[in-house]
Amino acid sequence: ALAGRKGAVTVATNMAGRGTDIILGGNAEFLADAALRAKGLDPVEHADEYEAAWREVITEIEEQVAAEHDEVVELGGLYVVGSERHESRRIDNQLRGRSGRQGDPGESRFYLSLEDDLMRLFKSDIINWVMVALKVPDDVPIENKRVSSSIQQAQEQVEAQNFEMRKNVLKYDDVMNRQRHAIYGDRRKVLEGADVEARLRGTVDSVVEQYVRANTEGFVEDWDLEQLWTQMGTLYPVGLDRAEYEGVDLTVDELVEDFKADAQAAYDRREEELGEETMRELERQVLLTVLDRKWREHLYEMDYLREGIGLRAMAQRDPLVEYQREGGDMFNAMMEAFMEEVVGFLFNLEVKVQPAVGLQTDEAGVPMSAEVMDELLASVAAEPAVAEPEPEAAEPAKGRPVVQAKGLGERQRRPVSYSAPSETGEAVTSRDAEEDPYAGVGRNAPCPCGSGKKYKMCHGRRS
């Protein structure tokens, strides 16, 4: 605020960015506030007196600033002295722009050293050798258009390098961005209440087909039907009899169709067992839970891949291409594992359904809001109690059932114990603070037992 006053010298480490303008003659509002504070008027503690004196003081300060502004303009305006040149020309231009605010006059001058990082990029040792050979004193400045143009070329090259780095980072991030859009798009549809039954039935068909084709490669005699039935049994309750398919000449497609039909029949039985509404809720919960867990694991794996992918350049391979290829393979593997786990959960989870909490309705059957319920309860509490016959219990409005399934909820935190040798060499086991009230207590801290002694003189000695 005072950097534009006559004779003021301001030292700044960096003046880039959208900072405060340096107004020639000073900032009138800042000077007026400083004058009122000098008189003992605080804008918070003495708000009324501060506002009353503000108009008179600001008018006086503005006249003073205008007069000083003309004096500074006559002397040449603001003079900016730079001690180095930045890698970006934009920052240098912003520094120069400080001396030309809204048409005000001013000058700028930059001083560089041959030891600056920017000069080292352009063979400053040659210039230094020439200076030594010509025996030019150290205090003589080097002023030449070639030097200025070389500095500008250096800045352009550095800017091009930085641009390529940002462009390369964007290419790497684009791989994750496409995967992120695919995952979050599916997840948002489920959260918005989309029906996922058709999708999950298709997932069941694809997983079943994948299992069958993985165990029926080669000739019919080489098929391992026992292993196929075992793997299918871990996926869903198989209703097909393996004995009927042994020694029978059939194709892979026929076996795939039989297992698909059997899996869809098991899906229908599962829905009849739980009920249609409960099954829809189970589908949503299973899909969201498994998707979130698999996506978190995939993010960690992609981070590990990103950290070491640069070493592929030593094998004359493009790290970006390798990252795109392996990232895509990892995403496809994650989706396959996701589908298998979803199908296994749908058929094998033990489901407990809690009754849905119904909404309170009025006489017309319209659900009442929380505010209406509060007013109704307050009015009932204020009225005297009158004996009335009990009305027949009305059925509450149906809500979404609450499904609890093992493996879908949050994992319970178990107390962790640590063992380490003591000073005597014996094994000492320490437990979490939730299980051991003395865990984490300092030796000189008061003992938690309430004895008033230090911990090291009480329970600390016993442990």
User: What tokens appear for 447 in the block?
Assistant: 């003992």
pLDDT tens for 25-68 read 888 888 888 888 888 888 888 888 888 888 888 888 888 888 88
pTM: 0.55
Task: Note the pLDDT of residue 389.
Answer: 47
Q: Are 207 and 256 in contact (CB under 8 A)?
A: no
Contact, 99 vs 78, CB < 8 A?
Answer: yes
Domain architecture of the chain: domains with CATH: 1-111 (3.40.50.300), 195-353 (1.10.3060.10)
Q: Residue 331 pLDDT more than 90?
A: yes
Taking each helix axis from N to C terminus, what angle separates 276-308 and 252-274, rounded to the nearest 10 degrees? 120
Residue 378 pLDDT grade (very low, low, confident, very high; cuts 50, 70, 90): low
Render pLDDT for 393-450 as a digit per residue (tens, 0 to 9): 444 444 555 666 555 655 444 444 445 555 565 655 555 445 567 777 877 788 888 7
Residue 131 is encoded by which pair of tokens?
Answer: 């200076």
Per-residue confidence band for 330, with pLDDT thresholds at 50, 70 and 90: very high
C-beta neighbour count of 356 within 10 angstroms: 15
Give the angle 398-402-404 at the CA atoms, nearest 5°.
Answer: 160
Look-up: residue for tokens 């409960």? 278
